Amino acid sequence: MYPTDRPRRLRTDGIRPLVSESSLSASDLVAPVFVDATTDERVSIESMPGHERVPVDEAVARVEEVRDTGVEAVILFGVPEAKDPTGSRAYAADGVVQRAIRRISAETDAYVVGDVCLCEYTDHGHCGVIEEGAAADPTLTVRNDETLELLAETAVSQADAGADMVAPSAMTDGQVAAIRSALDDAGHEDVALMSYAAKYESAFYGPFRDAADGAPAFGDRRHYQMDPANRREALREARLDAEEGADVLMVKPGLPYLDVVSDLRREFDRPIAAYNVSGEYAMLHAAAEKGWLDLEAVAHESLVSLKRAGADLIVTYFAEDLADRL
Ligand code: PBG
Ligand code: ZN
């Protein structure tokens, strides 16, 4: 019965760091920032404790707060002053995100990523242009090819404003190729592209949709976002995006999809990103508030798990809190 092999020898305080397989550092993290054209004061987001929507005038200050923790990259989401059927404020040169990017890139050294989607900007809340009559008929959905052009315009307008990277999240077929070629035509060959390659139709986005006011007014996103039951399909999505020119491939959500992060890590030679989404953040906060979990510990364990599964970078609402302690 004598144990001939003793893994516990590698678990003393002295050796643990030497044999640790994954590590987390502030330089792996991207912090989401919400800019809101409908307010001139910061508004806290109830379902995401510690997060706020800030007016354009506060965008630079908000990004400096992030950078003070050691996190150097931000991803911007916008709440526009007005919405319409084609989401025109998403690709306006003076849109809320474009104005914020202009200021942030001029006044800070942050690495600026723009989320490219229409759902925060359309009056129906879907990620693209919808079929006539879709409100009444759940079989009708987003018009794929018409949406491509608008996503490309959105990406170019963000690059014009000074974005370092654009991140299309609309799950429109062909969006990476459409955006890459529009960026190149506009002289933005150096702007990087991170695709939300495997983005699932997830109930974990709930708090974000409150934060960014982007919930669909009717129906859901199952006609364009992936079925949570599918694993192989993520490889297909990622392969298409890699072929179309994505520099970074993202999996979203994070924790419920660690198998997908791991698959993509093994299959591709490009950086893999994971999005630790709003619901993953909110549920840990809610449990901690009840005294049921140690927030700092579970947040850290969550992000280490994403790294262990193979993520190189992580978009997370925990970025500042964790970086502060690393
Ligand atoms: C917009 C977008 C969403 C998220 C990121 N970009 C919402 C959605 O697809 O409904 C979710 C982020 C989160 O939940 O933290 N397409
Ligand atoms: Zn969207």
46-78 pLDDT, tens digit each: 999 999 999 999 999 999 999 999 999 999 999
Give the pLDDT of residue 204. 97
Per-state percent for the chain, helix, strand, coil, to nearest 5: 40, 20, 40
Verify whether ligand 1 is closer than 6 Å to residue 209 (CB atom): yes
Verify whether ligand 1 is closer than 6 Å to residue 208 (CB atom): yes
Which ligand 1 atom sits nearest the alpha carbon of residue 77?
6
Full DSSP string of 60-122: HHHHHHHHHTT--EEEEEEE-S--BTT-GGGS-TTSHHHHHHHHHHHH---EEEEEE-STTTB
Its domain, for residue 104, covers 25-325
**Could you tell me if residue 13 is inside a domain?**
no
**Could you tell me if residue 12 is inside a domain?**
no
The model's confidence at residue 137, banded by pLDDT at 50, 70 and 90, is confident
Cβ atoms 120, 80 nearer than 8 A: yes
Give the pLDDT of residue 132. 83
Q: What is the mean pLDDT of residues 141-170?
A: 97
**Could you tell me if residue 79 is inside a domain?**
yes
Cβ atoms 305, 258 nearer than 8 A: yes
Ligand nearest to the CA of 196: 1
Would the pLDDT of 140 be above 80? no
**Could you tell me if residue 53 is inside a domain?**
yes
**Could you tell me if residue 44 is inside a domain?**
yes
**Could you tell me if residue 116 is inside a domain?**
yes
Q: Give, using CA atoms, the residue closest to atom 5 of ligand 1.
A: 169
**Could you tell me if residue 20 is inside a domain?**
no
Distance 313 CA to ligand 1 centre (A): 17
Verify whether ligand 1 is closer than 6 Å to residue 242 (CB atom): no
Distance 209 CA to ligand 1 centre (A): 7
Question: Distance between alpha carbon 173 and the CA centroid of its chain, in Å?
Answer: 18
Binding site feature residues for 5-aminolevulinate: 209, 221, 278, 317
Residues 6+ apart with CB under 8 A from 68: none
Instruction: List active site positions.
Output: 199, 252
Secondary structure of residue 295 in the 3-state scheme: helix
Which residue among 45, 77, 126, 169 has the greatest number of ligand 1 atoms within 8 angstroms of its CB, and so is best to mutate? 169
Which residue among 45, 77, 117 has the greatest number of ligand 1 atoms within 8 angstroms of its CB, and so is best to mutate? 117
For residue 259, the domain's CATH number is 3.20.20.70
Q: Measure the CA–CA gap between 254 and 276, rounded to whole angstroms.
A: 5
Share of the chain above pLDDT 90, in %: 90
Would the pLDDT of 312 be above 90? yes
Which ligand 1 atom sits nearest the alpha carbon of residue 199?
9
ipTM of this model? 0.96
Q: What is the mean pLDDT of residues 273-288?
A: 98
Distance 75 CA to ligand 1 centre (A): 12
Q: State which amino acid sits at residue 177.
A: A
Number of compact structural domains in the chain:
1
Distance 249 CA to ligand 2 centre (A): 17
Give the model confidence (pLDDT) of 160-195 as tens digits.
999 999 999 999 999 999 999 999 999 999 999 999
Would the pLDDT of 139 be above 90? no
Which ligand 1 atom sits nearest the alpha carbon of residue 278?
15
Give the pLDDT of residue 26. 97
Full-model pTM? 0.96
Q: Measure the CA–CA gap between 316 and 275, rounded to whole angstroms.
A: 6
**Could you tell me if residue 11 is inside a domain?**
no
